[in-house]
Structure 1
Amino acid sequence: MLVPTEKFIKNAILNHKRGKIFFPNNFVKFGSSTAIRQALIRLEEKGLLVRLAQGIYLYPKEHKQLGLLYPSLEEIALAISKRDKARIIPTGIQALNKLGLSTQVPMNLVYLTDGSPRTVKIKNNTIKYKIASPKILSAKSETNILVIQALREIGQKNLDGNQLEKIKNILKTVDKDLIKHDMKLAPVWISKIMEEILKNKE
């Protein structure tokens, strides 16, 4: 027989589509933190939920051939940031990947955030949140932020003509006023690249 907290949580979960990520604080109205934690453990044991990490649960999708389908690290990272009401900025290889500058998919993700710094371990991978400077968080365009982070990852000395051309084509899609604002937040060498794009847009 289901205890009340477990029953309420189960019904709440079943009202969502499969693939949804849950945290204990999604269920605070159903009982104490101890009761919620115990209920989630029981629902995991019964196969309704899959535990992705401490305090992170998945209501999994199922595929006939592939079995349980797990969310990507990025989907988990976004769910955590949404829970924490925090902004996150991709860095490194992930920024390159999102802009189409690399086909490499990072095994571990690092984000800049205005939330709490932490490292979340998901099986053999990690999601790391590092404190972002207020400067970069004041950028107005997500594309500009990704470009700045991607160029930081490449480095001024390693930037080749092909990469530069791709960056220019990406920035051509961004409103010039946003480029004008965000280029002031970038290192000087990146700012110069953005300024060159501006001149070509005017």
Structure 2
Amino acid sequence: MKLYEKVFYFISGHGRGWAFSSSDLIKKFDRQQIDSTLSDLSKNKRIRRIARGIYDYPKYSDFLQKELSPDIYQVARAYARKFNWRIEVSGDSALNLLDLSTQIQAKYIYLSDGPNKRYKILENITLEFKKSALKDIGFKYKESSLIVQSLKALGKDHITSKTIHKIKEQIDYKMYDKILKDTQSTTLWVYEIIKQICEKNK
């Protein structure tokens, strides 16, 4: 198998929507070969260059007949791996990603233990990292982080049954048990609401 196909096989193996940088491939391939191969794959539209040094294996909509916008969570994780940062989604961005905000957001903010940075993704999306003390870090699943941050952003007194139902709609029921286990260490009132969100047969 040629290097071109090997690299593409490795990338596509992570599934549609995966975002990455060349540093994600260094352990398996030679650095000099990686850069030229990624350039070729991008030119041939097998992957997409979404920012300087960042690519994705885009999701495609048969209905819309076009590639979908990058998965912001995946893009943020790609930067975090590249620069060895720990990150967590900000409350406002979590609300937007879970469709709980009425504002259409073109800017997404992640908190990080790295420096303040801002990146343009495909010219129309801004991804910003803000240096911050990270309080809810280390969740295994992105759904866990999104739920915790969105609930904290809303505040205990502003969470209604409608909010719980809306979050529930965004989460695959197969993730319920994983999320419950993943978020056990979070604030008690947040966890009590997560138990309601992840309640089955309701």
Smaller-chain TM-score bracket: 0.5 to 0.7
**Larger relative helix fraction:** 1
Counterpart code for 2:159: K
Give unmatched runs, 5+ long, in structure 2: 165-179, 191-202
1:133 CA drift (Å)? 2.0
1:150 CA drift (Å)? 4.5
C-alpha distance in structure 2 between counterparts of 1:180 and 1:99, whole Å: 21
CA change 1:115–1:181 in 2 (3 A) is farther
Counterpart code for 2:22: P
Counterpart code for 2:30: G
CA change 1:137–1:111 in 2 (3 A) is same
1:52 CA drift (Å)? 0.8
CA change 1:168–1:78 in 2 (3 A) is farther
Q: Over aligned residues, Cα RMSD in angstroms? A: 3.9
C-alpha distance in structure 2 between counterparts of 1:167 and 1:114, whole Å: 33
Q: Could you say which residue in structure 1 is the equivalent of 2:198?
A: none
1:179 CA drift (Å)? 3.5
C-alpha distance in structure 2 between counterparts of 1:96 and 1:12, whole Å: 33
Give unmatched runs, 5+ long, in structure 1: 152-162, 183-202
Q: Could you say which residue in structure 1 is the equivalent of 2:22?
A: 24
Q: Are positions 1:125 and 2:118 aligned together? A: no
Q: Are positions 1:76 and 2:75 aligned together? A: yes
Q: Could you say which residue in structure 2 is the equivalent of 1:106?
A: 105
CA change 1:44–1:149 in 2 (3 A) is same
Q: Could you say which residue in structure 2 is the equivalent of 1:50?
A: 48
C-alpha distance in structure 2 between counterparts of 1:139 and 1:42, whole Å: 35
C-alpha distance in structure 1 between counterparts of 2:162 and 2:124, whole Å: 36
| SS, match of residue 114 in structure 2 | coil
1:31 CA drift (Å)? 0.9
CA change 1:167–1:78 in 2 (3 A) is farther
| SS, match of residue 15 in structure 2 | coil
C-alpha distance in structure 1 between counterparts of 2:184 and 2:21, whole Å: 40
Fraction of identical pairs, as percent: 24
CA change 1:68–1:180 in 2 (3 A) is closer
1:110-189 alignment, distance < 5 Å: 110-122=109-121, 123-133=123-133, 136-137=135-136, 145-150=149-154, 164-166=157-159, 178-179=186-187
